[in-house]
Amino acid sequence: MTKGPTMTNPYAILGVATEHSFREIKAAYKKLLLKHNPVTGGKVEAYDEINAAYMAISEEKGWSGALPPQQRYRRQTRSNDVIIHLNVSMEDMFTGTTRTISSPTSLICVTCSICRCRPLCDTCNTCTKCQGAGVVHGSTPHVVTISPGIAEGKCISLGGYIDQYKHQAASNLVIQVNGILHDRFTRKGMNLYTRVHITLLQALTTPILQIERLDGTVLYYKWAKPLTRLDQVHRIDGEGMRYKNKAGKLYVSYVVHLPNDPIKNIHDVLPADDELQVPDDATVVDLSTHNQI
């Protein structure tokens, strides 16, 4: 069907001709509404276009009272947006993922909407779809795409097709993405922060260390000279959150574990420590080329 508010031929939308009677056009209109009802899987755009086509034909032919009461000479106002909070792990925010959620829907009853009875007639009072309420309640599944590097608190609008009460346009369903606290990383914008536990021997030498990234791969790195401060922080460019062709920074601070036994000589302070074995296909980042904070 033709999308958008402009219609070149409302008769073609309903599949009728200009010489068809009111009863024939109304029957075609009702049949299309049932077919494209969003509650049963139809598209809201097609549903609204069918209503608009029927209204245009009715106005052209002067069929007073033939239109559904919620669509006759009333300007629709949008109802409040519905916000659903979606909690996402930092791993999924790093790599990207998709989620399927269900949202409640309240759509105008197709069976009752074409009847302009006041008060409600017996047919509308005993409607098996809405039980006389005029609104059909259900649920609609939605697939939400979480892009890699998505910002915390990002709102994703899925368009207007829920809470379609009488005299109101459908409201927007808004998904707000909230990050779940991580046990190793914290996030500020595109940058990541982590703490690495090291021995005193490692602090006083230049060892090769490793950090498991959020995507499960391993970052190997080393620094150019021993740590000189307990609050020393290393910055590794390009190892933060990644969004499109941009990447944040990774800030690494350290927790140095001191020996528990009294110090008798230098060998007590510097016990033997095996060097980490790095796989042949891994790359070791040399922090001598990065800035020290």
Residue 4 falls within a domain, yes or no?
A: no
Given 137, 162, 179, the domain boundary residue is 179
Enclosing domain of residue 236: 185-289
Does 227 share its domain with 131? Answer: no
For the chain, list residues with pLDDT below 50: 1-5, 65-76, 166-167
Q: Rounded to an integer, what distance in angstroms lies between the CA atom of residue 167 and that of residue 79? A: 10
Work out the widest C-alpha separation in the chain, in whole angstroms: 108
Residue 84 falls within a domain, yes or no?
A: yes
With contact defined as beta carbons under 8 Å apart, do 7 and 1 qualify? no
Q: What is the pLDDT of residue 184?
A: 94
Cis peptide bond N-terminal to 119, omega within 30: yes
Residue 134 falls within a domain, yes or no?
A: yes
Number of domains in the chain: 3
Does 205 share its domain with 259? Answer: yes
Q: What is the pLDDT of residue 209?
A: 92
Does 21 share its domain with 98? Answer: no
Distant-in-sequence contacts of 236-241, Cβ < 8 A, 24+ apart: 236/285, 236/287, 236/290, 237/290, 239/192, 239/213, 240/190, 240/191, 240/192, 241/93, 241/94, 241/149, 241/187, 241/189, 241/190, 241/191, 241/192
Given 150, 179, 208, the domain boundary residue is 179
Does 285 share its domain with 238? Answer: yes
Residue 131 falls within a domain, yes or no?
A: yes
Does 245 share its domain with 273? Answer: yes
Q: What is the pLDDT of residue 69?
A: 38
Given 127, 145, 179, the domain boundary residue is 179
Does 189 share its domain with 284? Answer: yes
Residue 108 falls within a domain, yes or no?
A: yes
Strand 171-179 with 82-88, pairing: parallel
Dump pLDDT digits (tens) for 47-67.
878 888 888 887 777 765 444
Does 167 share its domain with 109? Answer: yes
Strand 284-286 with 208-212, pairing: unpaired
Dump pLDDT digits (tens) for 134-173.
777 777 788 889 999 999 898 888 765 555 554 455 567 7
